[in-house]
Amino acid sequence: MEERDLGGTGLRVPVVGMGTWKTFDVRGPAEEAQRRRVVDAALGAGARFFDSSPMYGEAERVLGEALEGRRDEVMVATKVWAPDAAEGREQADRALRWFGGRIDLYQVHNLMAWRDQLALLEELRAEGKVAAIGATHYSPSAFGELAEVVRSGRIGAVQVPYNPWEREVERETLPLAADLGVGVVVMRPFAQRGLMRRPPRPGALAPLAAFGVRTWAQALLKWILSEERCHVAIPATSSIGHMAEDAAAGEAPWLGPHERDLVARLAAR
């Protein structure tokens, strides 16, 4: 698995990690044991960067338990998602318990109360409990405000959507992040599964075989990661097979402009 520097955060991340929205919001021994096996598959393939949030129901807890005994091998990126500092601190106390007392990348979710939450995360970083700070938003309507936070110099990474259907970040977010040495985590690589509903027929991917692409999911991940201003994509999955398939896209050779155009055309059908 290729690794890249996540901007200037000091974190060296695998280009494919894993998200946990919906997929890790489960309860009960059977479901939770199965998610541990998804984490096994991720680790087996080098996808050792895991994203979560208190907004995702049980996901932080289920991920924390799935990482038991191997926390040191991975990077945890989670979020604070709270209207004020007091609730933010409660979330952080819980997350720190689940993730062995430290968070590698702690992000302000959807820029919620970001001034209060950044102050909290900076305090936790000064105490050595947080390695790097980031901010996330899914909506282009908030990218202007996200740029303001990036320009403040207080965050080391942003998390934004990027896939052939959602390319707004190409306009301002990616150039700004690259200029300022800010890391980019890519959420929704499959447009919340939307891009997987009507995959192209397998023959259509033949020109990408020389790039190690065997499946549509891999074509989409390679499309994202061939944009070198992106550092790690975090597909979510509840499937061991899909995790292995997604992680296998995290190796050179990367696509050139012609191949990226082909993937964009196939996605637009």
Ligand X SMILES: NC(=O)c1ccc[n+]([C@@H]2O[C@H](COP(=O)([O-])OP(=O)(O)OC[C@H]3O[C@@H](n4cnc5c(N)ncnc54)[C@H](OP(=O)(O)O)[C@@H]3O)[C@@H](O)[C@H]2O)c1
Total number of residues that touch ligand X (CB under 6 A):
25
Helix (H, G, I), strand (E, B) or coil at 64: helix
Q: Which of 219, 236, 262, 267 binds ligand X (CB under 6 A)?
A: 236
Q: Which of 136, 156, 182, 262 binds ligand X (CB under 6 A)?
A: 136
Q: E strand or H helix at 49, and its extent?
A: strand 49-51
Kindly report the number of other CB atoms within 10 A of residue 115's CB atom. 12
For residue 126, the minimal CB distance to ligand X (Å) is 26
Buried b (16+ CB within 10 A) or exposed e, 31-58: ebeebeebbebbbebbbbbbbbbbbbbb
111 lies in the binding site for ligand X (CB under 6 A): no
Give the whole-angstrom CA distance, residue 223 versus residue 261.
9
Binding mask 171-210 for ligand X (x = CB under 6 A): ----------------xxxxxxx--x--------------
For residue 187, the minimal CB distance to ligand X (Å) is 3
Characterise 40 by phi-psi region: left (phi > 0), alpha (psi -120 to 50), beta (else).
alpha
Q: Which of 105, 234, 255, 262 binds ligand X (CB under 6 A)?
A: 234
Residue numbers of the site for ligand X (CB under 6 A)? 19-21, 23, 51, 136, 138, 187-193, 196, 217, 234-239, 242, 245-246
